[in-house]
Amino acid sequence: MSEVGPMLTHMPAANTAGLVQDFNPYLQAFRAARRSEAAGKGQIYNAPERELIVWQTRPAPPTEFESSLAAALEQVFAQRIYELPDIVAALNRDGPRTRLGEPWTEQSFVATFRELGQLAFG
């Protein structure tokens, strides 16, 4: 998603404690149910409505599971593995198991990322 307009490099004035958090407490849920192919459409915010903080566009800090999965996927992609069956095989060989401690399947991988997308974008 490309953003236009100014981005904050500090917490909004509403943050009276002046603490920089590990996530953006002002992040709103994604409103568009469908992705738009038109340029500039389908953005999360209209320019005057958003208060995005440059490095903080997540609704909460990642869990230990999310962090370990992200690190494992970085390793998988660094090996130029991009197809779902190969990603699943690489995670089962070298990465973390599912949240339930089970080996990955294509279905569990897709379901996990669907769930993570819902957490991030509502």
Q: Which of 38, 60, 82 is the last residue of a domain?
A: 60
Span 60-79, mean pLDDT? Answer: 92
Q: Give the C-alpha separation, 31 to 24, whole Å.
A: 17
Q: Which of 20, 37, 60 is the last residue of a domain?
A: 60
36 or 7: which leads in pLDDT:
36
The yes-or-no verdict on residue 7 having pLDDT over 50 is no
Residues 6 and 30 in one domain: yes
Q: Give the C-alpha separation, 7 to 88, whole Å.
A: 37
Q: What is the pTM of this model?
A: 0.57
99 close to 88: Cβ distance less than 8 angstroms: no
**pLDDT computed for residue 4 by the predictor:** 43
Nearest to 92 by CA among 112, 109, 67, 110: 109
23 close to 56: Cβ distance less than 8 angstroms: yes
DSSP code of residue 56: B
Cα distance from N-terminal residue to C-terminal residue, the chain: 16
Residues 106 and 69 in one domain: yes
**pLDDT computed for residue 9 by the predictor:** 47
Residues 71 and 37 in one domain: no
5 or 57: which leads in pLDDT:
57
Number of domains within the chain: 2
